[in-house]
Every structure is written in structure tokens, then in C-alpha cells.
A = this chain, B = another copy of it.
Amino acid sequence: MVETQAATSVQGHDEDCAKRRQIIKGARTVFLEQGFDGASMGEIARAAGVSKGTLYVYFTDKNSLFCEIIEQESIAQGMLSFDFMPERDIETTLKVFGTAYIKLLCNPRGASAIRTVMAIAERMPDIGRRYYERVIANSLGRFARYLDQQVKSGTLVIDNCDLAAAQFTKLCQATLFLPFIFQMTETPSSERIAEVVDSATRMFLAAYRAKPDDARPS
């Protein structure tokens, strides 16, 4: 109510007023738990602690509320990104990245988002694409560029860095992701993650690390 805030508080219910955030929070819970069809606007309203009518003050319909949730979720996950510090040795970098990546994928929230988006991707392809681009392609792209640098600096020998990036992330998922997403296990322990990521790193480096002979072909 003071002048310093006046400029931003005028904006009405379009940006990020408290109610809107409150709704989004409730909707995220319900949508990610129940999926698009499983979630009802009534339940969302209850979860958010507002009336059903209020939902429609902030979002034109169920669809657009859902899109907003996925959008935010994908931005949030896309931002959680991984610093590839070029000066650090490759092995450590791979392990740190792989571990962080798996922890993102194999926790209840990340898995819910993936499941929910995957489920709806056939009927709402745009949602699927946006999510893929924001969350998956984005990390993968940054990782691929890191690999590029390493190739240029002679540490690695890789033909197709995009493929290599995908390969590494896939290797890290090995026995962890699918069992988790199909509800076979709880979130994997740090030990199991470390084990799988170590193996992935070894395999990756075995395939792509520059050999001494490569460097000195003369």
C-alpha cells in the first residue's frame, strides 16, 4: 500500500498476485497427482483454498490452467540446470551432472510431470513438444555443447555430440528410471544412483575418451 509498490500492485490478476500463485500451487498438486482428466476443477479449488469461480477469474478454462502448470513446471525444471565447469576434469563433471539429472528425473515431482505430459501428449501435442524442448532438449543441448568443447580441446573424441549426450543421459537412467516411473520402487537411494552413474561414466569414457595414440598420430 505504499507508493514504492504502487507500480507493481496495479497489475490486477494477470501476473503473479498471491491468489494466482495459490491457485497454481493447488492445481500443480492435483494435476500432477491425478493427470489432466483425473483432476477436477472442484478438487483443484479445494486444494488451492479458493472457490471454483475464482479459478475462472484467473484462468479461462481447465485447459489453460493446465498449460500454465506444465509451462511453469517445465521452466522450473529447465532452470535447474547443470553447470558444466570446463576447468573441472571430465570424469567428475559427468558424475556430478549424471547424478543431478537422475535426481531430477527420479523424484516424485519430476516423475509426475513427465507422466502427466506424456499422457496428454497424444491429445495435446503442443504441450508435449514445449515440455520436451524446455526440459529435455534444453539440458541435452547444453550438455552436448559441453562435449563439443571437450572435443575441440582434445579431451574427447566424438563424432556426433548430440547422440553422445543422449547416450550418457540414457545410460544414467539404466535400471533407475523405468522401475521408478512404473511404481516398482521408491525414489532410488544415493548409493544406487552413484553406482549406475559411475558405470555410465566409465562406459562413456571408454568409448569417447581420447587415447594417447589419438593425440600423437605422427
Interface residues of A (CB under 8 A from B): 33-38, 112, 115-123, 125, 128-129, 131-133, 136, 160, 162-163, 166-167, 170-171, 173-175, 178-179, 181-184, 196, 199-200, 202-204, 206-207
Contact = CB atoms under 8 A, between A and B. Distances in A.
A125 B181 CA distance: 10
B38 A167 contact: no
B123 A35 contact: yes
A123 B35 CA distance: 9
A207 B198 CA distance: 13
Contact of A122 (B128, B131, B136, B183): B183
Nearest to A207: B203
A132 B166 contact: no
The copy count of this chain in the complex is 4
Contacts of A173: 170
Contacts of A121: 115, 181-183
Nearest to A112: B122
Contact of A132 (B33, B163, B179): B179
A184 B119 contact: no
Contacts of A207: 202-203, 206-207
Contacts of A115: 118-119, 121-122
A33 B163 CA distance: 30
